[in-house]
Structure 1
């Protein structure tokens, strides 16, 4: 899920001057596809009724609120239909592609330490003690600050059912989209950002 890079980017943008001004500025949409895939021949797709939870390889997993599953899946479905695909029941008709939607919510913590500076060298000294004297602080350890970022990643994977390998139990992905961002703000605003990201994923994939 590119979690390491995602976490680093979010933390850097959130913590430093000149970075993002709103959480929406931290949102990103990434799409990749198989250049050899013939998307023009696709006609049908199968779709889950819920979003599957997955865990990122780094960070602390967070629980997902599934109350918005239907709304998010509906947004994905409307985009699939807009590119000419028809949803089918896989128990009745074998689809050309299976579309899998997953979500990972993760808490990342970045620790930054600031040492306690002493007065050596360069201090001016005072009565009887010149600047060659140092000052010893045996009880000082410095200060450490923790920055916590809750991030979410919605993945949409298009799996080619026509090239399924029953022997290897393997499906080949021909398109993948990742909608990433910070889980901040009220639930409605988060869902709206996810919907915007879904639309963008299809908009930046004109080959579909």
Structure 2
């Protein structure tokens, strides 16, 4: 299968930033292939990061009224691809999140649509069991140091890297220094869905060459 990837250029980012709320771009023109979007804080020196913590599950954002985490073999395979790419960049995974420089969190949108915006990046509060800032420590909220406006629909995967060593005296907001949005993952073939997801996660790191200690 020939996979077509839609990469956002700087011009596209400017166009997105100028919108009040941008829905997930249609994948109809991509023949139902997936889409990978990445963004990062240009003020962060990723070469100075040494360690990270990543939970052993993926949060599922759906219509359930209770917390759901994705922990089966497929989820572990996705997390393993993330860990392999982080290791390739020279980063060390720790079991103690309090000792890590950054945290990585993965979330999968099952059915519903949510939006996130640069001016109000608290969209996940509409879903009561999202990764909260408190999961990472004594943080009062979130902060994206870069402009971002997009929506998540069914089958979307979100990867976020948070700076656990940021200054908590300046508003106590937890900075998201890198994020990747992956859309268009759902088909009627579960094996294909996993294959597309793994390929898309790999592509997210290909699009983020700055994620390295070298």
Normalising by structure 2, we get a TM-score of: 0.61
**What is the CA distance between 1:170 and its match in structure 2?**
2.9
Contact residue 45 and residue 98 of structure 1 kept, 8 A? yes
Paired residues for 1:109-188 under 5 Å: 151-163=154-166, 165=168, 170-188=173-191
Listed as ranges, the matches of 1:15-34 within 5 Å are 19-21=29-31, 23-24=32-33, 27-34=34-41
Tell me the residue number matched to 2:60: 53
* Local SS of the residue matching 1:9: coil
Match of 1:104 among 109, 113, 117: 109
Give distance in 2, aligned partners of 1:45 and 1:65: 20
* Aligned partners of 1:155 and 1:176 also within 8 Å: yes
CA distance in 1, matches of 2:71, 2:184: 18
Rg larger in 1 or in 2? 1
Distance 1:81 1:44 in 2: 10
Work out the CA distance in 1 between the residues paired with 2:70 and 2:44. Answer: 34
Offset of residue 53 of structure 1: 1.9
Unaligned runs of 5+ in 1: 14-18, 56-60, 109-149
> Displacement, 1:72?
0.8
| 1:64 and 1:105 in contact (8 A); partners too | no
3-state secondary structure, aligned to 1:98? strand
- Structure 2: gaps of 5 or more residues: 1-15, 114-152
Whichever structure has more strand as a proportion of its residues is 1
Are the equivalent residues in 1 in contact too, given 2:59–2:106 (CA < 8 A)?
A: yes
Q: Please state whether the residue corresponding to 2:178 is helix, strand or coil.
A: strand
How many residue pairs were aligned? 149
Deviations 1:141-183 (A, max 9, x none): xxxxxxxxx7311111111111152785532111101111141
User: For the aligned residues, what is the CA RMSD?
Assistant: 2.7
In 2: Cα distance, 1:75 partner to 1:191 partner: 12
Residue 132 of structure 2 corresponds to none
